């Protein structure tokens, strides 16, 4: 069994820019620069046969490449108990279209449901017990965050192994998007 998800990766210069946002929150677990990504669809644990069906379904997609930019920051969790901090994505219809295509392909191939609303983001940190004021201070300080634009040329099926300290993500298959 492997624990799978589908994501768009972030190029190295943008990852470096994002890693400048790390800091200022005691107890935060900041995501390693190499692990920064935009999840399109979390799949979860599947066996080899199902994984192959998912790979075949994803390989059948023919979506175009596109440019995106990361913009702004936000939080998941409640006001008093923030679970994670993230960087947002500037509005991008092509990313939503890619999400819909991936989501449909995975749902059909694996008969797996995922009813979460898609809010594209790059998780930067996971928090436990951080004070709301500290978090608010960080959100305020980073509110103007804006990356350079970059081209998304592929999406990737990842295997996620959960470690004690951090998850380890390994690319399983890279699916190229159509060129302009």
Residues that bind ligand 2AM (CB under 6 A): 5, 39, 42, 84, 123, 160
Closest CB 123 distance from ligand 2AM, rounded Å: 3
Question: Where are the alpha helices (H) located in the chain, listed in sequence order?
Answer: 12-19, 48-59, 93-110, 132-141
Q: Which is nearer to ligand 2AM, 119 or 149 (CB)?
A: 119
Which of 37, 62, 99, 168 is flagged as catalytic? 37
State the minimum distance, in angstroms, from the CB of residue 179 to ligand 2AM.
27
User: Which is nearer to ligand 2AM, 39 or 142 (by Cβ)?
Assistant: 39
Least distance between ligand 2AM and beta carbon 117 (Å) = 12
Q: Which CB sits closer to ligand 2AM, 42 or 175?
A: 42
Neighbouring residues of 115: CB distance < 8 A, sequence distance ≥ 6: none
Pick 154 or 178: Cβ nearer ligand 2AM? 154
Helix pair angle (93-110, 48-59), 10° resolution? 140
Active site residue 37: yes
Tokens encoding 7: 């994501």
Q: State the Cα–Cα distance between residues 59 and 43, nearest whole angstrom.
A: 16
Residue holding tokens 């492997």?
Answer: 2
| Minimum gap (Å) between residue 84 Cβ and ligand 2AM | 6
Catalytic residue among 17, 62, 121, 168: 121
Task: Specify whether 103 is catalytic.
Answer: no
Q: Find out whether 135 and 27 touch, Cβ atoms under 8 Å.
A: no
In degrees and rounded to multiples of 5, residue 58 shows phi and psi of -70, -35
How far is it, in rounded angstroms, from Cα 142 to Cα 123? 14
Active site residue ranges: 37, 121
């Amino acid at each position: 069994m492997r624990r799978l998800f589908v994501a768009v990766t972030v190029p190295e210069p943008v990852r470096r820019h994002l890693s400048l946002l790390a800091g200022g929150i005691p107890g935060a677990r900041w995501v390693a620069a190499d692990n920064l990504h935009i999840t399109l669809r979390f799949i979860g644990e599947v066996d080899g046969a199902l994984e192959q069906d998912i790979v075949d379904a994803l390989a059948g997609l023919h979506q175009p490449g596109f440019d995106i930019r990361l913009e702004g920051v936000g939080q998941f969790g409640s006001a008093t108990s923030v679970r994670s901090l993230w960087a947002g994505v500037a509005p991008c219809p092509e990313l939503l279209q890619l999400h819909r295509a991936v989501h449909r392909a995975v749902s059909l191939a694996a008969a797996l449901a995922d009813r979460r609303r898609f809010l594209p983001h790059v998780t930067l940190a996971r928090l436990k017990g951080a004070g709301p004021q500290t978090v608010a201070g960080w959100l305020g300080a980073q509110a103007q965050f804006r990356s350079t634009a970059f081209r998304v040329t592929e999406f990737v099926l990842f295997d996620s192994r959960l470690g004690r300290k951090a998850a380890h993500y390994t690319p399983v298959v890279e699916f190229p998007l159509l060129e302009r």
